Chains A and B, each alone.
Chain A
Amino acid sequence: MSSTIFDLISRALARAGKTLLHVDSNDFYGGHWAALSLDDLTALAEMKCMVDSNPYRDVVVQMDRSKLAFSRAYAIELSPHMFYANSEMAGLLVASKVYNYLEFKAFSNFYILEETSSRLSRVPSSKEDIFTSPAIDLIAKRHLTRFMKFALQYEDDANHGIWKGEFI
């Protein structure tokens, strides 16, 4: 359903030397993956775009333009993605060299709301983070580190017994 698949196909076919016409009923790229400006968002709310295969219901847009910058100062993702470095998409962007058209920044902050707190807690997301985190006691750190070591290689034969119950 996502038109991004068609963008990928399009690029593959074009590169293979096919003569190609790519048509989109929206006046912006990306379909359901699109990042919309304020004007595009308003159009979406008024059902003036995505008329083919519109998966959205009960869209409400409330905007106080006096508090906002101009329309194109915003790129609001309809389906925000988190692209892992070790993912097929990242690999594809590199292999196809399409990454040259993009500028990337890092994303490494994870937070959780704990029941006993009214503030967000930062979640340690790497072995170094766990080591230095003041929020976790020493014993818990040992258990967590042990789990992370396992998770890094959970698909190895030697580890199957731990979660899949196979004989080694």
Chain B
Amino acid sequence: MKMMPITEYGKVSSSNLNGMLNSDRSDQDFSQFLSDVFHISDRIALFIEFALALSPVKNISTADGLSRVHRHLTSIGVYGEFPIVVPMYGGGGEIAQAFCRASAVKGATYMLDRRIKNVEAQAVNFENGERCLADHIIISSSAIDDKATGIAKYIVALNHPCDSLVSDDSVAAFVTFPPGSINSFEEPIQVIVHGSGTGSCPQGQSIANATHSNI
């Protein structure tokens, strides 16, 4: 089969290949790929890598970068002209609670603030002396993987609505500080700002939630 060089999206040209088609760039540095193949400037590559692909690390791979940008672009238009949906009153926490509520509506019983003392084959003993028999027990592992990477988090309540960042059309905003943009931080700092429109803080205030990979 004759190999046809693709030099522009959707177009086939007979000009020189430069060996590009032969290389698997999926592990290549994403910003290098953007520059080599699409002639994207360093400045715009930062936009793509750290703001569209939301890269939490300094050199994301091409495969990861592309899948993240793809996720972003294919999300626009699904529910409206925005890629991301924010559940009010506390995001992921609300989602967890919603599943619990849905479960309770179907008959499940919930007990909060209950610690397990030990687990038998078909029974659970609680620290307060109560015991529960069960045909099946699903339990979480409380071991934390020692090899897990640590991250640093900084959450601050601001006495300002951050209305230059958030609005009625976007009740939250994502802010990235790419490597080298601030002092000695070598990895990006990612901040999600929630305005009062998210229902997670009073009017006139906002919450900034910052994360940094602490490698």
Q: Interface code A136-148, partner B: CB below 8 Å = 1, 0 otherwise?
A: 1000100110111
The reply to whether A89 and B95 contact each other, CB–CB distance below 8 Å, is: yes
Q: Which of B62-84 contact A (CB under 8 A)?
A: 62-63, 66, 69-76, 78-84
Whether A20 lies near B84 (C-beta < 8 A) is: no
- Other-chain contact of A26, B83, B87, B112, B175 (Cβ < 8 Å): B112
Q: Contacts A112-B175, A123-B52, A143-B39; is A105 near B6 (CB within 8 Å)?
A: no
Contact residues of B: prevailing secondary structure: mixed
In the A-B complex, list the 8 residue pairs whose CB atoms are closest, starting with the nearest. A35-B90, A35-B93, A75-B90, A30-B96, A85-B78, A14-B106, A108-B82, A107-B84
- Whether, in the assembled complex, B18 has its beta carbon less than 8 Å from a beta carbon of chain A, the answer is no
Give CA–CA (A103, B63) in the complex, Å: 34
Interface string of B100-124 (1 = CB under 8 A from A): 1111111111111111100000001
Provide the residues of chain B in CB contact with A162, threshold 8 Å.
6, 9, 20-21, 37
Q: Give complex CA distance A146, B181 in Å.
A: 27
Q: Using known A-B contacts A107-B84, A144-B44, determine if residue A35 contacts B112 with beta carbons closer than 8 Å.
A: no
Contact size range, A? 35 or more
Q: Residue on A with the closest CB to B97?
A: A29
Residues of B within 8 A of A111 (CB): 51, 165, 173-176
* A146 B8 Cβ-Cβ under 8 A: yes
Q: Which residues of B contact A22 (CB under 8 A)?
A: 100, 103, 108-111
Chain B contributes a number of interface residues (CB within 8 A of A) equal to: 122
Q: In the docked arrangement, what's the CA distance between A7 and B87, Å?
A: 17
Q: Is A132 an interface residue (CB 8 A)?
A: no
B19 CB, min distance to chain A CBs, angstroms: 10
In whole Å, how far is A70's beta carbon from the nearest beta carbon of chain B?
A: 9
Cross-chain contact B174 with A109 (CB below 8 angstroms): yes
Contact B54 A82 (CB under 8 A): yes
What residues of chain B lie closer than 8 Å to A76, measured between beta carbons?
A: 90, 155, 157, 200, 207, 209
A33 CB within 8 Å of chain B? yes
Cα distance, A79 to B76, chains bound together (Å): 23
List, in ascending order, chain A residues with CB within 8 A of B161's CB: none
Asked whether B141 is an interface residue with its Cβ less than 8 Å from the other chain, the reply is: yes
Partner of B51, one of A57, A123, A159: A123
Across the interface, A81 reaches (CB within 8 A) one of B80, B92, B170, B202, namely B92
Q: How far is the CB of A18 from chain B (nearest CB, A)?
A: 8
B48–A125 CB distance below 8 A: no
Least CB distance, A65 to chain B, in whole angstroms? 11
Give Cα A123 to B165, complex, Å.
12
A140 to B41, CA, bound (A): 7
Whether the Cβ atoms of B47 and A87 lie closer than 8 Å is: no
Contact A77 B92 (CB under 8 A): yes
**Is there an interface contact between A98 and B99, defined as CB atoms closer than 8 Å?**
yes
Q: Which of B4, B73, B91 contacts A35 (CB 8 A)?
A: B91
Nearest to B196 among chain A residues (CB) is A73
Give the complex CA separation of A97 and B80 in angstroms: 19
Separation of A59 and B198 alpha carbons in the complex (Å): 25
- In chain A, positions 32-79 with a C-beta closer than 8 Å to chain B are 33-36, 51-53, 55, 57, 67-69, 73-79
Closest to B1 in A: A167
Residue interface mask B139-157, A partner, CB < 8 A = 1: 0111110001010000101
Distance of B207 from chain A, by nearest CB (Å): 6
Contact across chains for B87 and A103 when beta carbons are under 8 A apart: yes
Q: Return the CB mask of A104-123 against B: 1 if under 8 Å, else 0.
A: 11111111111100001001
**A136 & B44 in contact (Cβ 8 Å cutoff):** yes
